[in-house]
Amino acid sequence: MNLNFLTELTHLLSARRSTPQEGLYTSELFSQGIDRILKKVGEEAGEVIIAAKNADKEELSNEAADLLFHLMMALEASDLTLSDVVSVLEERHSK
């Protein structure tokens, strides 16, 4: 597992938000605003639920990746990162 990829993806999303490029999915979604991004998070969460309920590991992996990606977009749009979320988890775990 390459967790460095998540850091790279965080930087890429930040760049796409600050310097949009025409025709790129992420740039277009950022331009549509937080409500549209959150709608995608909700859609992907529903698809994760269905895939898990169907016990389809391949579909679940794909849908979980979509959910994580869109969640990271929502975090970026809210000026947060996955590292911020991990910090909360680490703090909770230490209690």
Q: Which residues of the chain have pLDDT under 70?
A: 1
Number of domain units in the chain: 1
Q: What CATH number does the domain containing 74 carry? A: 1.10.287.1080
> pTM score, two decimals?
0.92
Q: What angle do CA 44, 47, 52 make, to 5 degrees?
A: 130
Range of the domain at 18: 4-93
Count Cβ atoms below 10 Å from residue 19 Cβ, excluding itself.
8
